[in-house]
Amino acid sequence: VAFLPFVLATRFDLMRTTYLCQHIWRTMIGVFGMCASYYAVARLPLALSTAISFAAPLFIVVLAVAVLGETVRWRRWLATAVGFLGVLVSVRPTEGISFAAVVCLLAALSTACSAVITKRMPVSERFMTICLWSTLFSAIATLPPALAVWRTPDLADFGYLGLIGLFGAASQVGFVQAYRIGEASAVGPVDYTRLVFAT
């Protein structure tokens, strides 16, 4: 719904793509990560699930080197190492890692993979087209499980869902555009500002 005005304004031109397979692949990873994230948030203390989710920027730095061939200097590697230590302290592996914590880590890895796929999209592919197909395929993929547990939202719920949709769409546009124009290893750590806003 949030993207519909843009689609109509371009007379559906935004939906034109020759990279449908990449969009499907990116969406599959994104949907898995989203579901894993919701599962983890529901079963872990919010502070812990948020801390573990901060592994995503760390995974992005590693994948940026391994997959994208980006050059990462020692300062960024040092920050990455400190970040991983912080995640390990949060997860407390010596006390036994819960299944929910592992799922949360997989969600963070999915976010990193999605960022790398976004970065590898051809420059000719418009960022709004990437956002549109991702949103559309996500809605289709999550419809069957949603129907299985469906509860009709009341008026207040619709208001909250509307806000989530608007902020989510804005977030998706910012996420995609940032990775299109910047180095993944530099953009990823900006995610840590989430802690400031959450606080």
Range with the poorest average pLDDT among 130-139, 167-176, 186-195: 186-195
Query: 173: which 2 tokens?
Result: 């546009």
* 158-185 as b/e: b if 16+ CB within 10 A: eeeeeeeeeeebeebbebbebbbeebbb
Crossing angle of the two packed helices 55-66 and 74-91, in degrees rounded to 10:
140
Name the H helices within the chain: 4-9, 20-43, 46-53, 55-66, 74-91, 99-120, 127-148, 155-181, 184-187, 193-198
Would you give the end-to-end CA distance of the chain in angstroms?
Answer: 30
pLDDT (mean) for 164-170 = 89
| 8 A C-beta contact, residue 64 and residue 184 | yes
Q: What is the pLDDT of residues 69-104, one digit of tens each?
A: 888 787 878 877 777 777 667 666 555 678 998 999
3-state SS class at 93: helix
pLDDT on residue 60: 85
Q: Tell me: the pLDDT tens digits for 100-120?
A: 989 999 999 998 998 888 888
The rounded distance, in Å, linking the Cα atoms of 184 and 178 is 8
